[in-house]
Chains A and B, each alone.
Chain A
Amino acid sequence: MVKKGVIILLVLTLIIPVFFVSSGFTKDKVQVRFWKFTDTFADATIEKYIKLWNQSHPDIEVIFETFPWGDYTGTKLSSAFATGQGPDVFFISPGDLLRYVNAGLAQPLEKYLSTEEIKDFLPATIQSVKVSGHIFAIPLEMEPVAIFYNKKIFKDLGLQEPKIWSELLDTAHKLRKGEKYGIIVDVAPGYYQNFTWYPFIWSAGGDVISKDWKRALMTSQAGVSALKLWGDFIKEDVAPKTLPGSGPDITMLGNGIADMMVCGFWGVKQLQADFPKYDFGVFPIPPIDNKHKSISVYGGWRLMVNAKSKNVEEAVKFAKWMGVDQIDFPLEWCTVANSKFSPRKSVLKAGEKYYSTPPNDIFSKVLQTARSEPAFPPEIVKAVSDAIQGVMFGGLDAKVAAKQAETSITDFLKNYKGGIPGM
């Protein structure tokens, strides 16, 4: 008898969930699904503005759903779009832009933007979302990369901010004491390690590929030197070979694992919030020598509209409202919820005070010569990553690693038929 009871209970428990459909479908409202990776602190700001939108637009309901950052682009977005379940508006990284454009999933936006609205954006940011003359995303933020350091230790040891690479390496050696390392650079293979490495090849006067995407340039003097520098950080034991946290986590600097760290603008807010007593400074990534200029990189997510969405017009309306029409959200997003730069001149002006307060002013300066994170397809990312990993951990000579990368990239570029960003 007990068994019968168990069976009935079982059947019931299996049937009931079938009727559990989440968020009921109301036919009179248009629903716009807005996806992003989770950021528990900053998301509150987004939710606030979505609430404002939903109140003022009763006919268009925006539903905000977030997913763990590490799996957002690779697993979640891919699986959703693969089965036609993609969202209507979503955050997209520079690295993924081209892929979505080439797949026909990016809605062209230029016809929705007036000339003044486009002019309000810094030209480089519009270039970075333009392919074949179409604007495929709305830039939202810019986070340049520089080097954070422990001001107190520098003072105690009588150290100056390094101005060229040889000084950087030298300073790192001087800082290397006991359990403390000289500098932290990311060690895990991936887009972030590449991202923080690009400034080095650029500040040596070179680049990964030519602007027209026709030639690979890794074996140039700049490429080899940049690889060699990172290899030296590891070989000369001034940078840790393994990290307890992820690459962009400034907590590692705050905890004293090293006294210098390559990190981005986001680190400022984090240090100020979690390590109020830590006296930190920032200096731009040094160029290779006095004949070259410091060129940093900036990343930053964009808003993209799903071209295959059933509600493209409404989705564009919402995306435009968030990123283009107003100053309030971008300003709050960049200066209150996070520490980021806005790609819009009007927002930068409104946040003038914030951006000129030290140490933000250093980043403002860095931003002036910084380049957008390249929209490289995964094959090029892998080639560069293999080179960096090879020099740091594979015992490869910088020239050999650069050659391997250049060969892969050349092979790839030969067969590449997709769009070229910035063109």
Chain B
Amino acid sequence: MKRRPIFIFKYFILTLLAIVFIFPQYWMFVSSIKSPREIFKFPPVLFPKEPVLENYLKVFQQVPFLRYMLNSFYVSAVVTIAALFLHSMAAYSLARLKYPGREFLFFLVISTLMIPSSAILIPLFFVVKFFGWINTYSGLIIPAIPHAFGIFLLRQFYLNFPRELEEAATLDGCSIPNIFFRIIIPISRPILSALAVFFFLANWNSFMWPLVVINSPSMRTVQLGIAQYGGEFNNPWAIQLAACTVAIIPSVIIFVILQKQLMQSITITGMKF
């Protein structure tokens, strides 16, 4: 079998890379159960002599971390669903539908990616204040929905879709919304799954905007929560890292669930609508 050596070589490289990638993750986890006496020690302590598993309890005791995770989950989920819906429509319009000004509008959309978010942090705060959304879920959710990243990515994907299906549907007299919801969306599942993961992650890891918009401790999101364990001089790294480890779990779970969707391949034959 000629394929064998290549196969093994591939897996060897993969495993090597995986070790490189997982090591910092391991370091995060193992440091989260260290006492302050070992946290910065050199040479590095690979297995703590006195593991402090209570740190994981402290994550939830010192601060209402579960509440923060729920806040983040709510915000991220709503933004993700709304964004997927709106971006796929916008992207389809930019990729497949013809109308005057389309190219200009596309460039306008992309140009928003060239605005550093810290530059509009305070101006955006003015806008949100105008709507009365300071310290509300709306203030966290609504400004986070429109974003050129998703529109751009989906547009590129729609450009690449085989046109035969749409052409056949048009000949059959299907309206555009019908084509979109009945043909395009189902085929888009892989890329929509990828985007779902990304949008969720982006909102989950968001820090600057929630910091500016949220005042009440009860509305804090997960990243604000992780920053709450310390103080001016005292950074209880282990507990924070434990919080970080807990925080990473939902994103990875969503990734694993949607992973199957991601892997669906297109076959032209066999598409029914």
Interface residues of A (CB under 8 A from B): 3, 6, 10, 13-14, 17-18, 20-23, 33, 37-42, 65-71, 75-76, 78-80, 82-85, 179, 244-246, 248-252, 254-257, 264, 266-267, 270, 274-275
Contacts and interface: CB of A to CB of B under 8 A. Distances in A.
B216 A23 contact: yes
B36 A17 contact: no
28 contacts: A6-B85, A14-B78, A17-B78, A21-B135, A22-B215, A23-B216, A39-B232, A40-B228, A66-B217, A66-B228, A67-B211, A68-B227, A69-B230, A71-B208, A75-B121, A75-B211, A76-B211, A76-B212, A80-B212, A83-B129, A85-B134, A246-B235, A248-B232, A249-B234, A251-B39, A251-B235, A266-B233, A275-B36
A129 B79 CA distance: 46
B216 A38 contact: no
Nearest to B133: A18
Contacts of B217: 65-66
Most buried by A among B39, B122, B141, B215: B215
Nearest to A42: B231
A250 B233 contact: yes
Contacts of A78: 122
B166 interface: no
A38 B122 contact: no
A21 to B, nearest CB: 6
B2 interface: no
B91 interface: no
B87 to A, nearest CB: 14
Nearest to A71: B211
Given A18-B136, A84-B129, 7 more contacts: A20-B136, A22-B136, A38-B230, A79-B122, A251-B40, A255-B38, A270-B234
Interface in B225-244: 227-237
Given A10-B85, A22-B219, A79 B237 contact: no
B212 A179 contact: no
A40 B136 contact: no
Nearest to B181: A3
A18 B234 CA distance: 37
Given A68-B228, A83-B122, A255 B37 contact: yes
Contacts of B212: 75-76, 79-80
B253 interface: no
A83 B41 contact: no
Contacts of A69: 230-232
B129 A85 contact: yes
Q: Sorted from nearest, which 4 A-B pairs have the closest CB atoms?
A: A39-B231, A17-B137, A68-B227, A255-B40
B141 A17 contact: yes
B7 interface: no
Contacts, number: 135
Contacts of A66: 217, 228
B116 interface: no
B232 to A, nearest CB: 5
Nearest to B127: A83
Interface residues of B, number: 48
B35 to A, nearest CB: 8
B78 A13 contact: yes
Contacts of B41: 255-256
Interface in B52-101: 62-63, 78, 81-82, 85
Contacts of B36: 251, 254-255, 274-275
B42 interface: yes
Contacts of A266: 232-234
A267 B234 CA distance: 9
B112 interface: no
Nearest to A299: B232
A65 to B, nearest CB: 5
A40 B217 CA distance: 12
Interface in B139-187: 141-142, 181
A406 B133 CA distance: 46
Given A71-B211, A251-B40, A82 B125 contact: yes
A23 B129 CA distance: 17
Nearest to B182: A3
Contacts of A68: 211, 224, 227-228
B216 A65 contact: yes
Nearest to B36: A274
Contacts of A82: 122, 125-126
B244 to A, nearest CB: 14
A245 B122 contact: no
A244 B40 contact: yes
A39 B142 CA distance: 31
Contact of A179 (B43, B224, B227): B43
B218 A22 contact: yes
Contacts of B219: 22
B137 A254 contact: no
